[in-house]
Structure 1
Amino acid sequence: MSSVPARTGRQRQRYEDNLRLVSGCIPYRWRKDNTDLMGETEIMEVLMISSPKRDDLVFPKGGWEDDETVTEAACREALEEAGVKGILREIPLGIWEFRSKSSQDLCSIEGGCRGYMFALEVTEELEHWPEQKNRSRQWLNIKEAFRLSRYDWMCNALEAFLRVMEEERKLDDEKQEQNTELEQPSIMVADVSECQTMSPNCYKRSSTMHMPPSVNLLSRATQEIAIHFGY
């Protein structure tokens, strides 16, 4: 069983402009796929978790408390709610304001939240985690994640996530091309030793993350994004 209990209560909760400050992440991984006729490819999957007492899936998120940074809060919530650790991209995907959908879990007196979302590359998936009894987790491809996101802010966060991943793939491709021209071996920025240790739950880094060079996330996701955003 997990030896780290989930935090409870609102004693250390941060507020700003009468909004409860929330931090969370979109956990992701690359899975090998052998069904492609052109050979083995890698498919990106994101992790979503069930909501207690509600029939929907969400990304791990929760209150940002006054004894931690916003990135530490995101890593803690990923561990408590989804039972995953990994490498956190320290630049947020964005900041979204939304209202709580549950009268039993109001974000503030008015029910408003201001949420900071990050990308988390999962490196460890725990067998037991603090909120395991109340939450199940499910790995989904991008199309499924868009379809199952009930709230507009979640779809917006997913779109921002895809943009960031595509930008970093292009940067990685450019670096590989430069290394090839110089006849030097490519350096993949995927080693945890190159990252700055932040907490036992995750690492953070501001450098680019390794992306499979043949993957174009935005072109693959165009159809599902258009469905949700009407263009």
Structure 2
Amino acid sequence: MGCAKFLQRQQAKNYQKSLARPTLQKVDGLSPEGLQRYSASTGGPVVIGCIPYRVCSSDGKLEVLVISSRKGHGKKFPKSDWMLDESMDEAARRSALWEAGLRGHTGPVLGSWLYKSRHYDDTCEVYMFPFHIADELEWWPEMASRKRTWATTQQVMDGYQHLWMREALERLVARYGKSYL
């Protein structure tokens, strides 16, 4: 099958998918299909994120991993756009792998929040998941532009300027018990 024929088939498949889901829009270059999910309530992108955590064997306290923003201003949890061709779980695992070099598994959703994105100049809807770390990779796709830092939940809560990120972390702590603080 020639390249032109393949592209025609892909475009037809993508068009059919967009008809089945009217809240989705085509955005070139964000995934192999170029399809990103959009919020029916805000019109902005839907973002999936996770809070990577581990329980310290020495004292049983919960630690979370934060990453630097690409420009190095502040810390954040891994998050990225939710693409049409993946589940929420897959999107959370992808963002943890690409942005922080982590492998693991997600737990039930912590909640959803709305936030104003500087990148999109739009209101995004974000869903956050707990992410229990199974493996911390030595090399990962965005390692040149992001630094990883382990911190206690209290250190992270004291340092975050975004209310929605603090609320997501509070829900994680509430789910796993105050003894982890």
Q: Taking structure 2 as the reference length, what is the TM-score of the superposition?
A: 0.78
Structure 2 residue 96 is matched with structure 1 residue 73: no
The alignment status of 1:137 with 2:152, answered yes or no, reads no
Between Structure 1 and Structure 2, how many residues are aligned? 149
TM-fit CA distance, 1:32: 2.9
The answer as to 2:78 corresponding to 1:43 is: no
Does residue 1:14 correspond to 2:14, yes or no?
A: no
One-letter amino acid matched to 2:36: Q
CA RMSD of superposed structures (Å): 1.5
Aligned to 1:224: none
- Does residue 23 in structure 1 map to residue 43 in structure 2? no
Which of residues 161, 167, 178 in structure 2 aligns to 1:156? 167
For residues 46 and 156 of structure 2, the distance between their equivalents in structure 1, rounded to whole angstroms, comes to 24
Q: Which amino acid aligns with 2:156?
A: A
Matched position secondary structure for 1:66 = coil
List aligned pairs for 1:85-124, cutoff 5 A: 85-89=103-107, 91-100=108-117, 102=118, 105-106=119-120, 111-124=122-135
Unaligned runs of 5+ in 2: 1-27
Q: Aligned partner of 1:13: which letter?
A: Q
Alignment counterpart, residue 158 of structure 2, candidates 136, 147, 169: 147
Q: TM-score when scaled to structure 1?
A: 0.62
String of CA shifts for 1:76-117, please: whole Å, max 9, x gaps.
Answer: 00000000011211x2000011011x3xx21xxx51100010
Structure 1 stretches lacking a partner, 5+ long: 1-7, 34-40, 167-214, 221-231
For residue 85 of structure 1, what is the amino acid of its counterpart? Answer: R
The residue type paired with residue 28 of structure 1 is: Y
Quote the Cα distance in structure 2 between the aligned partners of 1:71 and 1:32. Answer: 27
Paired AA for residue 153 in structure 2: I
Identity of aligned residues (%): 38
How many angstroms apart in 1 are the aligned matches of 2:139 and 2:29?
Answer: 22
